[in-house]
Structure 1
Amino acid sequence: MVKNSDQTQNGETRAEDRTVEDVFDDTYKEKDGPKPPREIVWRNVVLMALLHIGALYGLTITPSASIPTLLWTAVCFFISALGVTAGAHRLWSHRSYKASLPLRIFLAFGNSMAFQNDIYEWARDHRVHHKFSETDADPHNAQRGFFFSHIGWLLVRKHPDVIEKGKKLDLSDLKSDAVVMFQRKHYKMSVLLVCFGVPMFVPWYLWGESLWVGYFVPGLLRYAIVLNATWLVNSAAHMWGMRPYDSHINPRENMFVALSAIGEGFHNYHHTFPFDYATSEFGGGKLNLTTSFIDLMCSVGLAKDCKRASPEIVMARVQRTGDGSHKTG
């Protein structure tokens, strides 16, 4: 942790505490010469194709699902989304707030339900993304196009710079978290049980829904929706929208992404102030359900020490580097 001395992407000094591993590194230079050949991982291509085919089928049988099953699907969506947004992202990648053991266990449960790599790997790659954003060392570099930044990066081998830079990060905070390491050790089994088993068996056992509908609707369809909502943060929110805080970087404010990813679409703000637990100037309002959830956890004593960018720092940045689209409130 660094206090009163870390630099932002444009050299600004902040007074907030944060992890230095998510600070943009403007000293990194891409290697000269031809890029390494793109190597397709055919196993991932086949699995992603089958998942989305199964999700489309799940969409066609959704009208046959009972009301409780549809409500359960929404609950599973929210839990798995929180496992990414409040968990792997805001808590473990950026350490923007502190969570009690029960809350960390719940968020790890949700993260396994989301099935987007274990917390340790997710946080490592996300810190690399922030530190080397829009370069060869960025796992889902948006400069390589919408498809690559959305899903293509999962269908090919990582660029060597992504692997190299990821190995050099200080991940001691993740290694010292027993919840993170337990989930990593038992990740495959947790995914089997939590991402596919729980969504399918709960409606079958509690209200007699068929296992077929349980597997394809709260199972595959919900899983695919959460995946694509998260991927839109990497793709759409790096390409379309306004840049009220820093017009010199690609990430944008995208309200559609904020809605679909329960608050992660305020991306120009987030890349400008990545230590802020709300990922938005406007807190839990304006489509930011994740911030509202964290605020609720604070009110019941399960979370604390939420970090925020002060209004003075935000407005100074708006005036200095914004694109003129900023609106208060």
Structure 2
Amino acid sequence: LSGIGVQCGAHRLWSHKAFKAKLGLRIFLAACQTMAGQKNIYYWVRDHRVHHKYSDTDADPHNSHRGFWFAHMGWIYLKKHPLVLEKGNQLDMSDIEADPVVMFQQKYYVPLLILFWGVIPAVIPVIFWNESLLLSILGCVFFRHVYMLNVTGLVNSYAHMFGYRPYDTRIRPAESTYVRHLMMGEGFHNYHHTFPWDYSASELGSLDVFNPATAAIDFFHAMGWAYDLRKPTPAMVANRIKGHGDQVEAELHRTSS
């Protein structure tokens, strides 16, 4: 649920507007994103939009040129580069500010965080299968938080430093190889930075590779909660590969996937 909140909600819905969601789904995704404990949606989206607009420059919050550990986790704990703040303040966030679900979460983030990040995950195992409170807190709160933080971190670090670039060789983000499944569908990063508005964050679908976020969006779409799913046509992808990608790597990528 934490991953769905970040990947489907903060990332694909609010940051990239890759699909549209009805009110109930937006509330559900906001609750799940709160459970992840990765800042509120407003600031998550602002940082991510700056990251895409100024990827791997000093204006990128997790600039991979500053090293693996900075991009992976250090950027969270260190002071932001002045350019990150400057460019972030110049972004148009009017669409986010117009969403009452996002603004409600921002206004009441601390109590919501305590409830969804800490209390609910800790008490459910205690109530329903008699787990000890200590083990529940350690496993369902702290371990879960650290695990999901590292899954997200791999996308910012590993996927910007290792892999191949079949869609656009001019940019640093790459299609990850060995740790792709750990990223839960977010490892197709050369593609994602080429087509950031694709709701699947991949040329492939949820049944082609391990991509639980895409599967979730497909499920919400089947239920009528998600709509206007955006995806480039095969011709658009082929034209980008032909113009700026590596056609040999593209074919190997499809075969290995």
> What is the TM-score of this pair, normalised by structure 2?
0.95
Shift of 1:252: 0.7
Alignment correspondent of 2:9: 87
Alignment correspondent of 2:249: 325
Alignment correspondent of 1:135: 57
Deviations 1:90-149 (A, max 9, x none): 000000100111111111011011000100000011000000011110000001110110
Partner-residue secondary structure (3-state), 2:199: coil
Alignment correspondent of 1:148: 70
- Tell me, yes or no, if structure 1 residue 109 matches structure 2 residue 31: yes
Alignment correspondent of 2:46: 124
| Structure-to-structure mapping, 1:246-325, within 5 angstroms | 246-284=168-206, 285-323=208-246, 324-325=248-249
Larger Rg: 1
Gaps of 5+ in 1: 1-78
- Tell me, yes or no, if structure 1 residue 245 matches structure 2 residue 167: yes
Look up the equivalent residue of 1:226 and give its one-letter code: M
**Judging changes above 3 Å, is the alpha-carbon distance between structure 1 residues 253 and 112 closer, same or farther for their aligned structure 2 residues?**
same
Shift of 1:300: 0.7
Distance 1:173 1:249 in 2: 27
Alignment correspondent of 1:18: none
Distance 1:265 1:162 in 2: 24
Between 1:318-327 and 1:235-244, the stretch displaced more is: 318-327
Deviations 1:174-225 (A, max 9, x none): 0010110011111111111111111111111122110001000011001100
Distance 2:167 2:134 in 1: 47
Look up the equivalent residue of 1:325 and give its one-letter code: E
Aligned pairs, number = 251
- Tell me, yes or no, if structure 1 residue 212 matches structure 2 residue 149: no
Distance 1:194 1:258 in 2: 28
Distance 1:280 1:289 in 2: 12
Look up the equivalent residue of 2:162 and give its one-letter code: W
4+ long deviations beyond 3 Å = 255-258
Distance 1:157 1:277 in 2: 32
Distance 2:36 2:107 in 1: 17
Gaps of 5+ in 2: none
Alignment correspondent of 2:124: 202
Contact 1:256 1:265 in 2 (8 A): no
Look up the equivalent residue of 1:225 and give its one-letter code: Y
Look up the equivalent residue of 1:314 and give its one-letter code: V
Alignment correspondent of 1:159: 81
Contact 1:81 1:261 in 2 (8 A): no
Give the structure with the larger helix fraction. Answer: 2
Distance 2:28 2:179 in 1: 24
The percent identity for this pair of structures is: 49
